[in-house]
Every structure is written in structure tokens, then in C-alpha cells.
Chains A and B, each alone.
Chain A
Amino acid sequence: MHGERSRFLSIMLFVGFTFLYVPIILLIIYSFNYSKLVPVWGGWSTRWYGVLFESPDVWDAVLLSLKIAVVNATFATILGTLAGLAMVRFGRFRGRTLFGGMLVAPLVMPEVITGLSLLVFFISLKQLFGWPTERGFTTITIAHITFSLAYVAVIIQARLTGMGNNLEEAAADLGAKPFKVMTKITIPMLAPGLLSGWLLAFTLSLDDLVIASFVTGPGSNTLPILIFSRIRLGLRPDINALATIIILFVAVLVAIAAVILFRQQKRDLLDQKMARMPEV
């Protein structure tokens, strides 16, 4: 009975992982295909990586995407943290529940709606104030900040709730004025939350196709927009190469995160061991 169940589980595990990773592995293999036609195998080659490196529009898109992602992540982290602080630390204020609900609404809002509403917003802004004159970097960044900050706010809220007021009260009790408490206690304690919030906002921005396509203008292609528009004209081997590079990039990041996490756990274990040692 027990043996059967574990056999069933291992089969399910295998099926699950196959389902997840076979397409990705296929993509990587085909990026090394010499043939110009994706489904036709023409032998191993790095030809398409060369092609990729020589296409300036790809590099423009990568650069634009990174620029948007960094600016977005930074602003979203600042604004999201402030929103999170307001929600958790200001106690009860009028309309707190409503505000809290509205803060997380972008998480469940269909992207198409968000994108459309932002486009309408930018167009009306232009009619009223003559700004933004053209859509592109600025409009995409603003659009990304609006939904990323909701994610950051949720992370910060959770972290703040978990922390409790105790440490901040202790600092105030020891004579630290509110600004000192903020810089010496709250922000260092929030650091892991800030980092994960920043990374999440960064990833969300890099990932986004739908909202960016709504609010972008001529000539401003982010990486997802570029990939999607090229694929529409049929599968292309150089895009496979580009995708493979992105996968590699993500894999390295995940590996780094895993190592950091592992070290942290090891340190915690050592700390606990140290705490149990008898006093000398």
C-alpha cells in the first residue's frame, strides 16, 4: 500500500517535471540548430547567437527593458514601502479597509484592463497638459510602477506585521527620535523585504508584455514586445538563441539566491548551536 503510493507519487513527479521542462530543453536545443527553419534539424551550430549579437534592435530592446525595470523597481519599492508603512503603522484611520483593498486590487485586475485604462489616462493627460508628448520609456515605466508598487506594499506589509512594534518601541525607549528609529531600526529590519520587493518589481517589469504593449509608442520596443512581434511572423532561430540567453541569466540568478539562502540557513544553525553552548 505504502509502496504503491510512493510509486504513484514518483511517476507524478516525473510527469510534472517533464511537462515543465521538456519545452524549455527543446527550445535550448533548437537554439543551436544550424537550419533557418526551426522545426528542421540542420546540425549543431552557434550561428544564431552570432546573428543575435549583430542585431542592434535586440540590444536596444534589452537595454530599454533593463532601464525600465530598474527605474520601476526603485520607485515601486519606495512608494510601496511608504504605502505598507501607512497601512501597518498608522493604526486605524478612516477608510483604512477601503484603502487596503484598493492597494491590492491591481494584483487581481486583468492586465488588459490595467493597460487599457492607463492608455486612456495617458491620452487624456496629453490632451489636457500636452504631456507625455510621446509614449515610450516614461509611460511604460509609470504603468509598471502603478502595479508593481501594489506587490511591494503587500510584501512590506507582511514583513512589518511579522516584525511587530517591539523593536521600534525599544529604540524609542532608549532615546532614539522617530527619524533615528526609522533609519537605524525600521529600514535595516525591513531590508530583506525591500530587497525581495525590488527584485519582484524588477522581474514583473521585465516580464510584462500586455501592459507595455498598450502604453508603448512607435520605436519603443521592450524585450517581450520585440520577441512577441517577431514570433508573430513565424518561429525564428535567433529568437530561440535570445530565449536561451535569458534562461541562462535567470538560472544564474536563481542559483545565487539559493546559495545565499543556504548560507543563511547554515548561519542560523550555527547561531543556534552557539546559543546552546554552556557558558564559560
Chain B
Amino acid sequence: MVNKPPAPEQSKEQGPSQDADQEPLLQIRAVIKKFGDFTAVNDVNLDIHKGELFCLLGGSGCGKTTLLRMLAGFEAPSSGKIIIDGKDMSDVPPYERPTNMMFQNYALFPHMSVEKNISFGLQQDGFSKSEISDRIDDILRLVELRDYKKRRPQQLSGGQRQRVALARALVKEPKLLLLDEPLGALDKKLREQTQFELMNIQDKVGVTFVVVTHDQEEAMTLSTRIAVMDKGKFVQIGTPTEIYEFPENRFIADFIGSANIFEGKVIETSVNHLRIKTEIGDFDVEHNIEVSKGSHVYIGLRPEKIHLSKQAPEKKTENQTLGVIDDIGYLGNTSRYKVRLESGRIIDVTAPNQVRPKNRTHHITWEDNVYIHWDASSSMLLNK
């Protein structure tokens, strides 16, 4: 691990408790899952604390869904242990686990009304009729579907089905709510709106959520912590800010957001700065860990952290170079520039369009000569 957040004491204002003395709600210990020769989950360890909204993020086939299914009890680990609330879950079948799952396609029972779908779980636990109907009323108020009790799932829109599925899983007040791509089936606008709804609901009920998603934006907005998975392993676990601003390696830097990555060699070290020789020149990188002179490193640079201008920057900084605009992607709120450097290397730069152009053409355009520069603190040191 090369890059550590500068402040070791990360005070989270509203984040869930992560006291070392409190036992984690969920403990995953050396869990391996094999399907024949294929290892879907490869020796994974994880603690999740009460009240967290934890995201398992990764591409398809990275093992995130398999891990979630092991938590629910649909798959048994090939080896390792899953402990929920201090109890080993190895021999506990799905119907006795203190977890509930919201399925990717919602898995609502099509032959039952909304009300019956939600009461199904409560009936299994032997609640009285009046208790069941009270709980249904409460949960339907929470998801704002009180007028839809008698409808069948087929008579609901995608967003409504999603909320019924959430209500059905939440009504049993599980210790751990597992959500498999909870917003995957919704269109973009609805998804953005539902993200915040989901966060509000989690805040209200205080249940610990474990969300599986392949959508990094979803993971960033929703979660208190993210585990990025690849090939059955966790690549990095951290808060959204940690993952984005302090990625440990090239995979994370490139998977979450985008980054210009340069290979380099440390040519000078000082107390908190490194001078690194790269293909596009020598640059300063701020750091807070020991890296020896001569070692081989990678640096990552987020496109939005690079300043772009036609005039030379007033303050002469060390991290500065010249280039030509090769291409522009106009996105409305921002523009994405491809800047070709002398060496031929193309650098991605994103800049907000803060000024409305007067004559329908922007200030910076194709084939313009531009200066790019960035803060020494903006470069991310990556370890592989």
C-alpha cells in the first residue's frame, strides 16, 4: 500500500460507528467459493459494522453476487466462515438467517397482491393478523405505496415494483439487508431519484445494507464504504472519497472515474515531496510515505484536477507542460479535452463550462496551443 489518506484519523460526522471494541455485525473470514475449477470468490475477509451502507462494486463475473448469495445462504462457501451478529452461519439455511434480500429483478410473487407479497415473510414468523396489518401499513407508508395494497406486481411500474421489493425485504426487520443491483432495472432519471430515497430509508430504519452494484456512480452516492472487487478478491476497501482520491493501484484509479496514468522513476526524495521522471517530463508529487530513490512507480492524474489555459499560468509551478487540443467532447456542463503533448502522449482533461459562450463557440477550440498544469498534491501515487 503506497497511498494512505493524509489524515489517519478520519472523523466521519454522520458515519456509522466503527469502534474497534464493538463487534462487527458481519464478519467474513477467509471465504472461498469454487464452482468446479472456477474460483468465484477467492479468500475474502471483511468486517461490516452496524448501520453501514456497504457497497460491493465490480464488473460482471467479479464474484460480488456470489458473495452476496453466500451471505443470504443460497450458496455455501467452499471454505471459510460467515459470522452474522456473532453467530456462525455455516449450517444456517436461508430461511433461518437474520438477513433479507432484495433481488435484482425483484422476484415479486406474481400470483399475490402487493399486500400478500409483503405479508408472506411475516406469516412465516407467525405474527398475529393485526400485527401483520399494522406492519404492512407502516412499511407501505415508508415507501409511499399505501394506495397500492391490492394491486398485483404486474400492475405496477418498475419504480413501484422496486419499492414493493424493498418493503417486502425490510418488513421483517432483518439485521442485514442484501440488495442485488437494487437500481439496475430503472431508467437513469428514476435511478438518481431512487438513490436518495434508498439512502433516506436506510437512515430511517437503521438497518445495515449490503449493496451489490456494477455502477460506480451508484456506489459512490449510496455507500458509507465501498469494496472494489476484481477476480474474486477485494482490490480496495474504503469510503467513496478514499477510493476516488487515494486509489491504491492502477486498477482502482482507472475503474473508479478515469485517470491519466504515467510510469515513472523516483529521482529525488525530500520530506514530503518526490520528484519523478516520466515520459512527459519531470514532476513533483506530494506524498506522506517512504519511497526510496530510484524506485519504479506509477502516477495517476484525474482529468478534472488538471488546469487548462491558453495563457501561461501566472504562478510558475513545477507540474506544467504544453500541448495542442486534439479533440473536444462537449457534454454541456463540462467539456472533455484530449490534449496532445510534444511526446505524442494524449492527456484527458475535463473542465467545467462555467461561462456561457457569447458567439456559440467556446474559448478553447481544436488545434489551440494550451498550457496544462496541476498541483503536486493532485497526483496520485499508485503501486502497480
Contact = CB atoms under 8 A, between A and B. Distances in A.
Interface of A: 166-167, 169-177, 180, 184-185, 188-189, 268, 271-272, 274-276, 279-280
A173 B101 contact: yes
Contacts of B93: 172
B151 A274 contact: yes
Contacts, number: 72
B120 A173 contact: no
B124 A173 contact: no
A275 B120 contact: no
Given A174-B95, A174-B120, A271-B155, 8 more contacts: A170-B108, A173-B100, A174-B100, A175-B95, A175-B125, A177-B124, A188-B111, A275-B156
Contacts of A166: 103, 105, 107
Contacts of A275: 154-157, 160
Interface in B103-126: 103, 105, 107-111, 120-121, 124-125
B107 A180 contact: no
The listed residue with most B CB atoms (<10 A of its CB), out of A166, A174, A272, is A174
A185 B110 CA distance: 10
B145 to A, nearest CB: 9
A163 to B, nearest CB: 10
Contacts of B94: 169, 172-173
16 contacts: A166-B103, A167-B107, A169-B72, A169-B74, A170-B101, A170-B107, A173-B94, A173-B95, A173-B101, A174-B95, A174-B121, A175-B172, A184-B120, A188-B111, A189-B110, A271-B154
B191 interface: no
Q: Is the interface of A mostly helix, strand, loop or mixed?
A: helix
Contact of B124 (A167, A175, A274, A276): A175
B172 to A, nearest CB: 7
Nearest to A167: B107
Interface residues of B, number: 32
Contact of B155 (A172, A173, A274, A279): A274
Contacts of A172: 73-74, 93-95
Interface of B: 72-74, 93-96, 99-101, 103, 105, 107-111, 120-121, 124-125, 147, 151-152, 154-157, 160, 168-169, 172
Contacts of A274: 151, 155-156
Contacts of A189: 110-111
A177 B95 contact: yes
B111 A176 contact: no
A169 B103 contact: yes
Which 4 A-B pairs have CB atoms at the shortest separation, nearest pair first? Answer: A174-B121, A175-B124, A170-B107, A166-B107
A175 B103 contact: no
A185 B152 contact: no
Contacts of A174: 95, 100, 120-121, 124, 168, 172
Contacts of B172: 174-175
Contacts of B72: 169, 173
Contacts of A280: 147
A147 B160 CA distance: 46
Nearest to A272: B154
A171 B120 contact: yes
B127 to A, nearest CB: 11
B218 to A, nearest CB: 21
